[in-house]
């Protein structure tokens, strides 16, 4: 029996081995016809971490009638999303349960069990635990994929910042003396003195709350970024963002004699990269007692608004220009490196596909 292609009506359908299943594939348009059960079996055979795929029974949203006719039953097929969180469109015949996928969807359909497993983590709901944590600490809870390797540089930076603070932070005289030598003042840098403070100020903190807040955010975004960049590149970019932050603060007020300290500028740079590469992640935001998962884009937009407001109200003691400068540097680096980072991190690239929809 000759079968007509549901995709392009050509009659050049050939039997084709697709992950161990003999399926009919169109020689003209490259689409594949799966009979009842064949798609489940092919995806179970494929190397995607799931040996018992049940995708045919768990299709996503019904999108209405398809323009295509079933190759066997000569009836109109129905249009569906492959899964709710992975909106690949395919056609299904309700009479014979056959499934049609287009050529450009092949790879995506094969990797769908991987996406499903990752989404199970990313879609996790906020719980009493996450609520209590944020209510007490005022810090967001992160939902993201786990790094493949131990984030050694992130741990090293955490340890350095904490140990350095512990060495002087509980003694006023010592703090004064350390700040005199290692905190950054715009006026010093402009006049060419104490230039090492461009680097050293990033490892000092004014008080325990300042340190704890910075270290928490460094831990939240640092582990995933270090994993996606590799250790040395991560460290280099962290320092580069810190320098960009210092430059922004100096440019904003070159004559200032106020000491600037803190890792905030460098960490703000990490925020910029994180929101561009981890759009599938979520950070919780709490308004008084109401907690909500937000995309990194939304979360850091709110963070930026707070910094711009702080700048306009000219609050003392917080280097708002450094935050904004570091953040912009991170966004620029994030944009420039996105292609490379996606290329070397297939899982990130997969989660960055527009068809992936995270539930928040
Ligand atoms: Zn065709
Ligand atoms: Zn049919």
Q: Please name which ligand lies nearest the alpha carbon of 4.
A: 1
Report pLDDT for 313. 82
Q: Please name which ligand lies nearest the alpha carbon of 29.
A: 1
Q: Please name which ligand lies nearest the alpha carbon of 10.
A: 1
Report pLDDT for 72. 86
> Residues with Cβ < 8 Å from 38, sequence gap 6 or more?
21, 23, 99
Here the tokens at position 306 are 């707070």
Report pLDDT for 315. 63
List alpha helices for the chain, DSSP H: 38-45, 106-122, 128-137, 152-168, 172-182, 186-190, 197-200, 208-229, 231-252, 264-277, 296-312, 320-344, 346-351
Ligand 1 center to residue 276 CA distance, Å?
A: 37
pTM of the model: 0.91
Q: Which structural domains are found in the chain, ordered by start?
A: 13-121 (no CATH), 125-351 (1.20.1540.10)
DSSP output for 115-147: HHHHHHHHTPPP-HHHHHHHHHH--PPEE-PPP
d(CA 330, CA 325): 9
pLDDT in tens, 284-337: 999 999 999 999 999 999 999 998 888 888 766 678 899 999 999 999 999 999
Report pLDDT for 207. 92
CA of 117: how far to CAs of 52, 110, 129, 297, in Å?
Answer: 13, 13, 23, 23
Q: Please name which ligand lies nearest the alpha carbon of 34.
A: 2
Those residues of the chain that have pLDDT short of 70 are 1-2, 315-317
**Long-range contacts, stretch 113-117, CB < 8 angstroms, 24+ apart:** 113/43, 113/48, 113/49, 113/50, 113/53, 113/55, 114/48, 114/49, 114/50, 114/347, 114/350, 115/83, 115/85, 115/86, 115/350, 115/351, 115/356, 116/50, 116/83, 116/85, 116/86, 117/49, 117/50
The residues facing 291 across adjacent strands are 286
Ligand 2 center to residue 115 CA distance, Å?
A: 28
Ligand 2 center to residue 80 CA distance, Å?
A: 15
Edge-to-edge strands, sheet with 142-143 = 142-143, 282-287, 290-294
Ligand 1 center to residue 3 CA distance, Å?
A: 11
């Amino acid at each position: 029996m000759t079968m007509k292609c549901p995709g392009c009506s050509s009659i050049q359908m050939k039997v084709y081995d697709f992950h161990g299943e003999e399926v009919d594939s169109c020689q003209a348009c490259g689409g594949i016809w799966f009979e009842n059960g064949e798609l489940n079996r092919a995806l179970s055979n494929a190397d995607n971490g799931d040996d018992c795929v049940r995708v045919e029974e768990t299709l996503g949203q019904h999108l209405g009638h398809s323009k295509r006719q079933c190759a066997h039953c000569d009836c109109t097929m129905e249009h569906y999303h492959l899964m709710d969180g992975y909106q690949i469109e395919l056609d299904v015949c309700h009479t014979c349960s056959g499934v049609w996928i287009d050529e450009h969807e092949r790879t995506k359909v094969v990797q769908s069990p991987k996406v499903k497993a990752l989404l199970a983590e990313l879609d996790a709901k906020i719980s009493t635990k996450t609520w209590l944590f944020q209510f007490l600490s005022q810090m967001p809870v992160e939902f993201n994929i786990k790094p493949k390797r131990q984030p050694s540089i992130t741990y090293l930076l955490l340890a350095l910042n904490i140990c350095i603070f512990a060495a002087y932070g509980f003694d006023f005289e010592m703090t004064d003396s350390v700040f005199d030598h290692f905190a950054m003042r715009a006026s010093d840098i402009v006049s060419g003195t104490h230039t090492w403070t461009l680097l050293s100020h990033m490892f000092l903190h004014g008080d325990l709350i300042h340190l704890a807040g910075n270290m928490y955010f460094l831990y939240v975004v640092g582990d995933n970024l270090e994993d996606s960049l590799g250790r040395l590149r991560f460290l280099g970019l962290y320092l580069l963002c810190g320098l960009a932050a210092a430059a922004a603060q100096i440019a904003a007020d070159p004559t200032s004699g106020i000491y600037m300290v803190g890792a905030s500028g460098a960490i703000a740079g990490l925020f910029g990269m994180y929101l561009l590469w981890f759009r599938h992640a979520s950070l919780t935001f709490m308004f008084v007692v109401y907690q909500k998962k937000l995309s990194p884009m939304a979360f850091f937009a709110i963070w930026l608004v707070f910094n711009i407001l702080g700048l306009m109200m000219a609050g003392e003691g917080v280097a708002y220009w450094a935050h904004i400068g570091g953040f912009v540097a991170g966004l620029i680096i994030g944009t420039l490196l996105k292609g490379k980072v996606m290329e070397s991190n297939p899982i990130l690239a997969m989660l960055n596909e527009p068809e992936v929809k995270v539930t928040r």
